Chain A
Amino acid sequence: MADPVWLQKEPESVGRDHLGVQAASQTIYARLLPGIRNLTKRARYFSFYPWVIDTYARRVGVKDAQRFNRYLRRAEYILTLATALQGEDEDTTGAIGIRFVNRLLDDLVGPRDTKQIDIEKGANDCEDNYFRASRGGYGIYYVASLAELGIIEIRSGEPVELLRPVGQQLAASFAQTSGAAALEKAFDARRLSVKELRALGTSISLSRLTEHPAENDLLRDVLFNTAGDPSEENTTRRQSFCLVLTAAKLLRDGVRVDEFRHGVYYEQDFGGGTIPWPESLQPIVNAWRVYQQHEYFNQPLHYLFHQLLDALPALEVQNANTWADYAARIRAALRQRPKWVRDSVPNVTADTRWTEFLQTLETALGEDVELPNRNRPVSEQFFSEVLQRPTQGKPPGGSTVWAALGMLGSLAVRARVHGRPYADAVAPQVSQRFGLGLDHLLRDFSTLGGLALADAAVWLVEHYVVRRHLHVALRKLSFQRQGENTFKFFVENGRLRFRKSFSFGDTTPRVASAILMLVDLGMLQKADDGRHRLTVTGQKLLQQSLAGVTI
């Protein structure tokens, strides 16, 4: 029987990295801060989980995944409850399931201390429990980091990971803390009172690591590689941690992620003051500069993409949604010269050749484009701020296109002094795999040099945005096992059809996690305005570390 069938829709997802550019950023920062992740924010989990595995082996000893998972989830849940009852704000940041726990605690009515909290229910039983994943935050976030740091060993088919020697030491150090025994006892209780949990928190809270010197020192040794393991991962992680500590020391009010990024790129603080990075850290500064450089490469492309998506619905209504129509609007938009163009590169117009534009821009960036970069009135930071202004759903605005050209032009100009793109951060065989990067831009600009800016802008949007997105979305669709429809627009009958928009943000380079871990280790302390300052302990470690003294 010739029966009709409905076309089944391909699964759609919001997706990420719609131009295939941000993966390179992730590759770079993953190599600069290996072993920690954006969601592994708390140092004490690296001793807590080994202790959980150790006690499970001791107390239960059954190699059963389900049983271990239930055990683990109870432990995680109790730790978060105890942490939440002992601290606020940053103290509880990164605790697994903290939002669930905070809601639960907020809902408690009346005198708190006598209230009983059903541990089994919160950890395992109800639908809306603290974490949906069967292995909790351990399985989602920490297990890979623990393995990368050499604390555990993941064995295929084994329900419980194996503790490596350092993992056993960490478990033992956690066990020595005063609350560990009480916590172990609490595992058997179905319910715990708020008072009991608060008492537990005085010792085991994620924020109380510094009160347990043996455990603290051991964790510091692991994260800072004090044993001097020469592997690239360990040395790079140590250097990045030292760089964050140095930033906390050199930046006036302490370190903050955005100023850290700014500081490694320009070697200046937000106020324009020079940051005298120590000579021994210069290689890692350069490597982080490369990361930020690629972020600056991301931004104009994504904002040009956003501008297209913002404009498309209106253009469709006007029946002006062919690529040719849009290209004409880009050209028209460039006729409106924003203030920075009029002020800083006054002779540049939409008809200026690309090479001439670069020469003019080089002058605006500084008499000579020196190494390190310097933040001038017209600079990547300036263009970044312009790009982030909303386009308000209008066809291409001159300011966005001009800022995108300025940003890409600045990167091209500075690349002359930085040499081969990415060489300071990753090996060539890694950067060669980047689908789209600064090296592509430089290569393409070398052939586009004779084009007028308007033509170059149209070329860029066509090849780096329109075609690139179609290419990336098709590739994602092509993966047989996870084929997903992530098209934000598509082409139909020669017309660009809007599908969905998305929110764009810079990648998060794990620095926030590194800062929180350093706070846990007592090397940084919270200051105003989201900043963190160096403590005496941190100062001492940094001095020793930079001087090459064994800690």
Chain B
Amino acid sequence: MRLLDFLRSARPTHAVFGTYVFDPWFYEAYVLRHLRAQGCTSQFLLIDHDCLVGTLEAGGLPPTLMGTHYLAQGICAPEAFHPKFLLLLTRESGELLLGSNNLTVPGYTHNDELLVHLHYQPDDTVYLAIFQQCWRYIQRCLALQRSSEVVLNHCQQIGEECPWLLADSAPPADTWLLGWPGGDGSIADQLAGILSKEVIRHVTIMAPYFDAKLAALTRLAKTFSHADVRVLVQPARCTVNPGRVPSLPKNVRFFDLSDVGRGEDGARFFHAKSILLESRKNSYCLMGSANISVAALYAPPDHGNAELCLLSRHNDPEHFRSVLGINGTLDDLTPIDMTAVKTAYSAPATVPPGDPPPLQPTAAEQDGKMVRVFCGLESAAITWETLQLRVHQTAVPLSQRTAGELRFAAPETSTGDASTIGRLTCRWKGKDWSSTPFVIHNIVVLQRYVQAGRFGKLAGYMRRGSFLSGDLSAVASLMAEMLSGFPPAQAKPAEPARPTAKTASAQSLEPSAEPVRVPYEQFLTGSEHQKTWVAKAGYATHSDLDAYLRLVASSIERSAGGESEPAAEPLLDEQEEDENDDQPKIRTEEERPAASVRASEVTQFQKRFLSLLQRYREELNQSNLQKEPLSLRDMGKLIVIGQTTLFFCCKDLPGDFQSPSGKKRRYLELEQVRESLQDILHCWFLSNRGRLIDRVMIEPGEHFYRTAEIEFFLVTVGLLAAALRRVSNTSFDRLLAAATHWRSCVHSARLQEGEITLRAQRVIENLGLEPIMHADRWQATWREAAGLGRTLAAAQKTLRDFGDGAAWLGFNKTHAAGSPQIGDILWNPAVGFTSVAELRVGGKIWLSTDWNEQSKGYAAGNFANLSAIARGGPSPNAAIRQVCQSVIAAIGK
């Protein structure tokens, strides 16, 4: 199993990790990023408390997003919190990876690790009970110390969203979850209970770590005294104490793992832990986190490590050896003399017991202006008046104290979007004392990032331009999810998990319909913020989102008038300056378009869409310290950059795309793509100036490089456009919507009908489109839109066959075609379909689709006047008249 591939393809809603060692750099830059890109904005880590403290200590490479972008709880087990697991959950399903690998680069990429991968789905419930036991195990771990409220509530909400996790189903017949805390006694006791009726003949142990006295190995060998106990180790890197080997029971023999093909002769660290047990009839495999130590296997209650293992049984005695690839070889191997080997054993340092600290902070959270620090120990000798919370260079005194909980006013330095690390200080026993460091979870910031990170992700990618060199499939996935991910209008019984504290402020209780939290730019951009996109985006005068925005805005702003009147230029930017909580102006009953949709519903939809973008924009501007304030139109440009990127995630560029040098370029290597994408974008924006929608983008052919994600995205866009078309009223509006259909509703054999249906229903539900487009009838709407797209595509082909603008100029002159009227639909190969917004002197016209305010107008003669031809004006031939009529009929519907 390749874990990175697994992470890239996972689509969970929630992720819960358990790990002993934690590499914040790897987690934050890779795991967090990939899972978030796939929509998993709820991520929660359980980490050994001491290891977590180690990563927070000054001089390390501490986490920067913990407590703001994900939750973490240090677990205080009596010795160590040692489980390693990954639980991925959705409302209906789950995946559990349980094994030996920590959340570190070697643990995920190159150690020799052993894992087990379990699934749960409604139609595959074999391991449901294991998931439920694992969830209960997590709760027990959280109870080992005073965990923060925000963490406990987060878990509660995961439980509410995944109710299947909370039940107590019948366990599977051949699989057991063994763990501490919980379980009946130590791991060894639990194992012995299950094996009580078996006569074990062979025991095969694989592990890197052993206790110094080899006591656990001795006890195992004695427990299975009739068995041949074979211990497979990486001699130089295991911690077997050679001095204790002679005192082991005689049934124990050691073998070199490299002889069975593991560990790559020492180059790869063997970190897996497993015990295989074989009777005459059955074989068992214990796998997970437990090493061969007393702390892991034999510790009495309230001592030793927290561990988590899975025991699996098979009725073929050799099954697991076969699965692990060591079948049949062990009997032929020569044992090694461990007394003569220099292992990695070092005598444990004897640390003289010191005074326990007066306070042991286990968690902290900031709720508005209050910071709560949760503590495990409280010494009576503390001088409470001297107790302070220290964050960076700021210290604040204790303001309130209850059992296990200390409250402070939030230091001013702890309000950012990055991790805040604090310490407690006080006078104790006549000296200055400082606690171990802890991360202060910021509830308000967490609500923003843990709940809705998709837009943030997108914004981060776009603003730095690094999406061009990063994982493009992640962007594709993100884009595909984007429009379907808006929170519903009202809070529903099962809300997506959202971290709140029980005492959360009013702000934290705002309904989740308040959408779009934006970018965790610091996370995504790091120090690489680039402004290149700004200059490039300036060239994009038309985009789908621009069109949407104009449709929305023009619907709101449109003055009463006939269909042939041009749509007013919406003053989006000016509107934005007057942002307040006022409702947008709602049109009166008389002004309402003649559509079968109620104005209030239209307005609700429009308002939601616009406010979404406004919020998105606000947060982007805020993140950028208002240095490059974005207008709503800029937002449209941002989206179009993403779309273009998706489009160019391909091996070959479309045939009609030419680089400035005139040579067709191929993008076969990712490195080349990385090098060239920005150039392509630049060219695309340049070539796109003055066009309705770029030809390269919308050519409705079936390109082989369309991925399912792109298809999904296009379906989403198509549905949105279909809905907009129903609320639009002017010919120009319908033209834009139609152009969007053309682009996005091309049928593809790649998608299954069922998948599209699910997606469509989700889009409709999330966007609240039910009044406009009923979920049951989406298919008809979509197909109608696709039909419209095909009509326009066919018309374009016929018109293009006649000739270019010069050809139309000649024709119009020869036949004295006359000036167009306002509202007439025109076509030109360079501009595409458009309509007349304004007539100017000198035969110049202003196009409704020309948003470039610098435009001096176009010469009308260079266009085919589809409306005039359809009305019976001069036409080059009958075929063209026919397509003109079909276009007018289609758009006029």
Which residues of A sit under 8 angstroms from B117, Cβ to Cβ? 5
Pairwise interchain contact A324-B1, C-beta atoms closer than 8 A:
no
Pairwise interchain contact A231-B661, C-beta atoms closer than 8 A:
yes
| Bound form: Cα–Cα A156–B651 in Å | 11
Is B532 an interface residue, CB under 8 A from the partner?
yes
User: Which one of A8-16, A239-247, A415-423, A532-540 contacts B?
Assistant: A8-16
Is A213 an interface residue, CB under 8 A from the partner?
no
Smallest CB gap from B473: residue in A: A480
| Bound form: Cα–Cα A471–B114 in Å | 27
Pairwise interchain contact B105-A323, C-beta atoms closer than 8 A:
no
Given B29, B59, B101, B115, which contacts A322 in the complex, CB threshold below 8 Å?
B59
Pairwise interchain contact A485-B110, C-beta atoms closer than 8 A:
yes
A7-B3, A231-B661 known; A490+B532 contact, CB < 8 A: no
Pairwise interchain contact B678-A494, C-beta atoms closer than 8 A:
no
A480-B8, A482-B670 known; A493+B54 contact, CB < 8 A: yes
Pairwise interchain contact B106-A497, C-beta atoms closer than 8 A:
yes
Pairwise interchain contact B105-A487, C-beta atoms closer than 8 A:
yes
| Bound form: Cα–Cα A208–B30 in Å | 55
Q: Would you list which residues of chain B between 84 and 116 have a CB under 8 Å from chain A?
A: 99, 101-102, 104-106, 108-116
Smallest CB gap from B175: residue in A: A2
Pairwise interchain contact B116-A477, C-beta atoms closer than 8 A:
no
Pairwise interchain contact A480-B471, C-beta atoms closer than 8 A:
yes
Pairwise interchain contact A490-B57, C-beta atoms closer than 8 A:
no
Tell me, rounded to whole Å, the shortest Cβ–Cβ distance linking B351 to chain A. 14
Which residues of B sit under 8 angstroms from A5, Cβ to Cβ? 1, 114-117
Interface residues on A, range: 35 or more
| Bound form: Cα–Cα A475–B25 in Å | 12
| Bound form: Cα–Cα A26–B471 in Å | 23
Smallest CB gap from B530: residue in A: A432
1/0 contact trace for B269-280 toward A, CB 8 Å? 000101000000
Which residues of B sit under 8 angstroms from A471, Cβ to Cβ? 29, 526
Pairwise interchain contact A429-B23, C-beta atoms closer than 8 A:
no
A479-B471, A492-B105 known; A6+B112 contact, CB < 8 A: yes
Which residues of B sit under 8 angstroms from A481, Cβ to Cβ? 670
**Total number of B residues with any Cβ neighbor in A under 8 Å:** 77
| Bound form: Cα–Cα A467–B28 in Å | 13
Tell me, rounded to whole Å, the shortest Cβ–Cβ distance linking A471 to chain B. 7
Pairwise interchain contact B116-A485, C-beta atoms closer than 8 A:
no
Is A327 an interface residue, CB under 8 A from the partner?
yes
Is B810 an interface residue, CB under 8 A from the partner?
no
Pairwise interchain contact B310-A6, C-beta atoms closer than 8 A:
no
A2-B118, A7-B1 known; A494+B110 contact, CB < 8 A: no
Given A435, A463, A470, A482, which contacts B25 in the complex, CB threshold below 8 Å?
A470
Which residues of B sit under 8 angstroms from A470, Cβ to Cβ? 25-26, 29, 61
Is B2 an interface residue, CB under 8 A from the partner?
yes
Is B323 an interface residue, CB under 8 A from the partner?
yes
Pairwise interchain contact B535-A429, C-beta atoms closer than 8 A:
yes
Pairwise interchain contact A4-B54, C-beta atoms closer than 8 A:
no
Pairwise interchain contact A491-B105, C-beta atoms closer than 8 A:
yes
Smallest CB gap from B262: residue in A: A6
Pairwise interchain contact A324-B116, C-beta atoms closer than 8 A:
no
Smallest CB gap from A463: residue in B: B527
| Bound form: Cα–Cα A231–B663 in Å | 13
Given B3, B104, B470, B666, which contacts A478 in the complex, CB threshold below 8 Å?
B470
Q: Would you list which residues of chain B between 21 and 45 have a CB under 8 Å from chain A?
A: 21-23, 25-26, 29-30, 33-34
| Bound form: Cα–Cα A485–B117 in Å | 23
Smallest CB gap from B532: residue in A: A432
Pairwise interchain contact A490-B29, C-beta atoms closer than 8 A:
no
Is A547 an interface residue, CB under 8 A from the partner?
no
1/0 contact trace for A320-343 toward B, CB 8 Å? 001111010000000000000000
Pairwise interchain contact A492-B473, C-beta atoms closer than 8 A:
no
Pairwise interchain contact B116-A3, C-beta atoms closer than 8 A:
yes
Tell me, rounded to whole Å, the shortest Cβ–Cβ distance linking B270 to chain A. 10
Is B569 an interface residue, CB under 8 A from the partner?
no
A6-B113, A9-B268 known; A324+B58 contact, CB < 8 A: yes
| Bound form: Cα–Cα A35–B39 in Å | 44
| Bound form: Cα–Cα A59–B324 in Å | 58
Is B51 an interface residue, CB under 8 A from the partner?
yes
| Bound form: Cα–Cα A478–B8 in Å | 9
Given A4, A8, A10, A478, which contacts B274 in the complex, CB threshold below 8 Å?
A4
Which residues of A sit under 8 angstroms from B1, Cβ to Cβ? 5-8
Is A117 an interface residue, CB under 8 A from the partner?
no
Which residues of B sit under 8 angstroms from A372, Cβ to Cβ? none
| Bound form: Cα–Cα A474–B60 in Å | 18
Which residues of B sit under 8 angstroms from A324, Cβ to Cβ? 57-60
Q: Would you list which residues of chain A between 126 and 165 have a CB under 8 Å from chain B?
A: 147, 154, 156
A480-B471, A492-B21, A492-B106 known; A323+B59 contact, CB < 8 A: yes
| Bound form: Cα–Cα A429–B323 in Å | 54
Tell me, rounded to whole Å, the shortest Cβ–Cβ distance linking A406 to chain B. 24
Smallest CB gap from B268: residue in A: A9
Pairwise interchain contact B51-A1, C-beta atoms closer than 8 A:
no
Q: Would you list which residues of chain B between 631 and 672 have a CB under 8 Å from chain A?
A: 652, 661, 663-664, 666, 670
A7-B101, A10-B109 known; A493+B21 contact, CB < 8 A: yes
| Bound form: Cα–Cα A474–B682 in Å | 28
Smallest CB gap from B666: residue in A: A156
Pairwise interchain contact B109-A494, C-beta atoms closer than 8 A:
no
| Bound form: Cα–Cα A467–B26 in Å | 11
Pairwise interchain contact B174-A1, C-beta atoms closer than 8 A:
yes
Smallest CB gap from A157: residue in B: B652
| Bound form: Cα–Cα A432–B174 in Å | 59
Smallest CB gap from B104: residue in A: A492
Which residues of B sit under 8 angstroms from A12, Cβ to Cβ? 110
Most chain-A CB neighbours within 10 Å: which of B59, B310, B323, B324? B59
Pairwise interchain contact A9-B285, C-beta atoms closer than 8 A:
no
Is B287 an interface residue, CB under 8 A from the partner?
yes
Is B378 an interface residue, CB under 8 A from the partner?
no
Is B699 an interface residue, CB under 8 A from the partner?
no
| Bound form: Cα–Cα A466–B60 in Å | 12
| Bound form: Cα–Cα A156–B667 in Å | 11
Is A433 an interface residue, CB under 8 A from the partner?
yes
Is B312 an interface residue, CB under 8 A from the partner?
yes
Is A449 an interface residue, CB under 8 A from the partner?
no
Tell me, rounded to whole Å, the shortest Cβ–Cβ distance linking B361 to chain A. 19
Given A3, A477, A485, which contacts B323 in the complex, CB threshold below 8 Å?
A3
Which residues of B sit under 8 angstroms from A483, Cβ to Cβ? 4
| Bound form: Cα–Cα A550–B114 in Å | 72
Pairwise interchain contact B312-A3, C-beta atoms closer than 8 A:
yes
Given A4, A231, A429, which contacts B116 in the complex, CB threshold below 8 Å?
A4
Which residues of A sit under 8 angstroms from B30, Cβ to Cβ? 474, 477-478
Pairwise interchain contact B113-A494, C-beta atoms closer than 8 A:
no
Pairwise interchain contact A3-B320, C-beta atoms closer than 8 A:
yes
What are 11 contact pairs spanning A and B, CB under 8 A? A3-B312, A4-B116, A433-B530, A474-B29, A477-B109, A478-B34, A480-B471, A480-B473, A487-B105, A493-B23, A494-B61
**Which B residues have a C-beta under 8 Å from some C-beta of A?**
1-4, 8, 21-23, 25-26, 29-30, 33-34, 51, 54-55, 57-61, 99, 101-102, 104-106, 108-118, 127, 130, 174-175, 262, 268, 272, 274, 285, 287, 310, 312, 314, 320, 323-325, 465, 469-471, 473, 526-528, 530-532, 535, 652, 661, 663-664, 666, 670, 675, 678, 682
Excluding A2-B116, A323-B60, A490-B106, 4 further A-B contacts by CB distance (< 8 Å) are A5-B1, A429-B535, A429-B682, A493-B51
